[in-house]
Amino acid sequence: MNKEQYLESVKDMIYLIYCAVNNNKPQSDKVQNMNIENIYETAEHHMLTAVTAAALESAGVKEDNFTQAKGKAYRKNAMLDIERNLLFKYLDDKGIWYMPLKGAVMKDYYPTYGMRQMSDNDILFDPEYRAAVKEYFESHGYEVREYEQEYQDIYLKAPVSNFEMHVGLFHPRHALKYPEIYNYYQNVKERLIKSKNGCEYHFSNEDFYIYMTAHEYKHYSAGGTGLRSLLDIYIFMKKFGDTLDMEYIKGELKKLGIEEFELQSRNLAMNLFGSNKLTDKDYSMFEYIVFSGTYGNRKNIITNKIKRTGSKGIAAKTKYLWGRLFPPIETLKISYPVFYKYKILLVFLPFYRFTKIFTVSKSKVKNELKVLSKYK
Q: Is the pLDDT of residue 312 over 50?
A: yes
**DSSP secondary structure string for all residues of 325-369:** HS--HHHHHHH-HHHHHSGGGGGGHHHHHHHHHTTTSHHHHHHHH
**pLDDT band per the 50, 70, 90 thresholds, residue 356:** low
pLDDT in tens, 220-242: 887 678 899 999 999 999 999 99
- Is the pTM value of this prediction over 0.85? no
Model confidence at 337: pLDDT above 80: no
* pLDDT surpasses 60 at 293: no
Query: Between these two residues, 211 and 328, which has the higher pLDDT value?
Result: 211
Could you tell me what percent of the chain has a pLDDT over 90?
A: 62
The reported pLDDT for the residue numbered 376 is 63
Of the candidates 79, 166, 73, 168, the residue with the CA atom closest to the CA atom of residue 112: 73
Is residue 321's pLDDT more than 90? Answer: no
The angle subtended at Cα 84 by Cα 233 and Cα 154, nearest 5°, is 85
Model pLDDT for residues 237-276, shown as the tens digit of each residue:
999 999 999 999 999 999 999 999 999 999 999 999 997 7
**Three-state secondary-structure class, residue 185:** coil
Residue 331's pLDDT band (boundaries 50, 70, 90)?
Answer: low
pLDDT at 291: 84
Element (H, E) at 165: strand 161-166
Q: How confident is the prediction for the chain on average, in pLDDT? A: 87
Confidence of residue 122 (pLDDT cuts 50, 70, 90): very high
Residue-range domain boundaries for the chain: 1-62, 81-177+193-202, 203-296, 300-374
* Biggest distance spanned by C-alpha atoms of the chain: 70
Transcribe 81-135 into DSSP letters: HHHHHHHHHHHHHHT--EEE-THHHHGGGSSSTTSS--S-EEEEE-GGGHHHHHH
Residue predicted with more confidence, 39 or 172: 39
Predicted local confidence at residue 305, as pLDDT: 62
Query: What pLDDT does residue 95 have?
Result: 97
Q: pLDDT tens digit string along 188-199? A: 999 999 998 899
The CATH number of 81-177+193-202 is 3.30.460.40
Q: Give the containing element (helix H, strand E) for 301.
A: helix 298-307
Lowest mean pLDDT segment, chosen from 93-107, 329-343, 362-376: 362-376
Res 295 pLDDT > 50: no
Residue 197 pLDDT: 83
pLDDT at 316: 67
9-36 confidence digits (pLDDT tens): 999 999 999 999 999 999 989 999 999 9
Question: Is residue 55 very low, low, confident or very high in pLDDT (cuts 50, 70, 90)?
Answer: very high
How confident is the model at residue 92, as a pLDDT? 97
pLDDT band at 280 (very low <50, low <70, confident <90, very high): confident
pLDDT at 375 over 80: no
Q: CA distances (Å), 312 to each of 221, 317, 367, 373, in order?
A: 18, 8, 20, 13
Cα–Cα distances in angstroms (integers) from residue 7 to residues 72, 233, 285, in the given order: 26, 22, 14
Choose the weakest-confidence range: 43-47, 168-172, 173-177, 350-354. 350-354
